[in-house]
Amino acid sequence: CHLIHYLRLSHHLIVLNYLICTFDKLNSVSSEDIKITDAVFDGVEVRVFEPPAKGDESLKRGVVYIHGGGWALASARTSLYNNLCRIMAESLNAVVVSVEYRLVPEVCFPEQYYDALRATKHFLQPDVLAQYSVDPSRIAVSGDSAGGNLAAAVCQQLSKEEDLTIRPKLQALIYPVLQAFDFNTPSYQQNMNMPVLPRAVMINYWIDYFNGNYDLAHELLINNHTALNVGRALSFRARLNWTSLLPPSFKKSYKPVVQSTGTAAIVEQLPALLDVRAVPLLADDATLARQPRTYVLTCENDVLRDDGVMYAKRLERAGVPVTLDHFHDCFHGCMIFTVWPTDFSAGVQTRNSYIKWLDENL
């Protein structure tokens, strides 16, 4: 893929996603248990999973699900996400709307965010919920990894829109990526070379999402973009102070990496680094206080572990009921790996815990 990119035949992410989807993309095939249809919600493609109607129940629960993949890979139609959403629909007796947002490099931030927001707002309309027999008071917004990023950003925006008559009851974030401010949190240091998501790869995903240049990767890695002389970053520093937000068991003996002098021009080139729509962990306390009951799943062997833990702590401090579900022996991305040949026990364990929380709270 990188050779094709180097030869300027195509972007490496286009090639990689083509390979993933060519061998894995599924058409919408319904069964007796679940009806699967592809639809368009306000210009955004979605896949809808509907359980059959039960005689003793008039309305179902609803879940908007936003898939991961670094804003660049995967699809609502791949077998891994198709399987996850089908099981969610069956287990919860819920209508699951899986959002097929556009990907890097076709579009970059903020288009993925707008796609997720438009699809969610469309589903929240009373007539649409009535069409799918969904209870307006029992809706969750959820996503994993980059999809968790989009889910958190969407929930923050929905909480600010005063004209909305229907709002999510819950948000459920699976090993979400929530900040590009500090690439030296303890989990980034501890897991910098950990598959499936090494630190360098995550930084490149951010650069691609912001349509930036890979030449900036090293500057980001050493936190030059948020050095003490970068005025625009100073006001956000307290919101991502992991020394006060993480428990000792996560901080271990790691030390903060704070440059006294950095490169302010990076934020000028990539202003989205400090945009809360891309970096939900930067939101102010007033916004966080308006968020719905929240579930955050984190894995020990994951550079993004501390993103989720810090967000859970900030939400808790803002008065939001939060469940932090941490798995000590699991890795980033594990929840979708429940189908042969990647049927891992970690995937089943995390998926069951996630669905159990939704079942008890939605």
Distance CA 306, CA 177 (A): 9
> Is 145 one of the catalytic residues?
yes
Query: What domains sit in the chain, N to C, each tagged with a CATH number?
Result: 1-177+281-360 (3.40.50.1820), 186-271 (no CATH)
Distance CA 335, CA 144 (A): 9
Instruction: Find the mean pLDDT for residues 129-146.
Output: 98
Mean pLDDT of the chain: 92
Q: What are the backbone dihedrals phi and psi of residue 160, each rounded to the nearest 5 degrees, phi first? A: -95, -15
CB contact at 8 A, 160 and 191: no
* CB within 8 Å of 102: residues ≥ 6 apart: 111, 112, 115
The catalytic residue among 75, 98, 142, 145 is 145
Beta bridge partners of 140: 63, 170
Kindly indicate the confidence band of residue 9, based on its pLDDT and cuts at 50, 70 and 90: very low
Residue 134 confidence (pLDDT) above 70: yes
The catalytic residue among 67, 122, 225, 332 is 332
Residue 160 confidence (pLDDT) above 80: yes
Distance CA 331, CA 166 (A): 35
The tens digit of pLDDT for each residue in 193-247 reads 998 899 999 999 999 999 999 999 999 999 999 999 999 999 999 999 999 999 9
> Is 329 one of the catalytic residues?
no
Q: Which residue would you say has higher pLDDT here, 252 or 27?
A: 252
Kindly indicate the confidence band of residue 7, based on its pLDDT and cuts at 50, 70 and 90: very low
Q: How far is CA 56 from CA 51, 53, 130, 131, in A?
A: 14, 9, 17, 18
One-letter amino acid of 355: I
Residue 324 confidence (pLDDT) above 70: yes
**Residue 233, token pair as written in the block:** 């970053």
The catalytic residue among 144, 208, 302, 325 is 302
pLDDT, position 5: 45
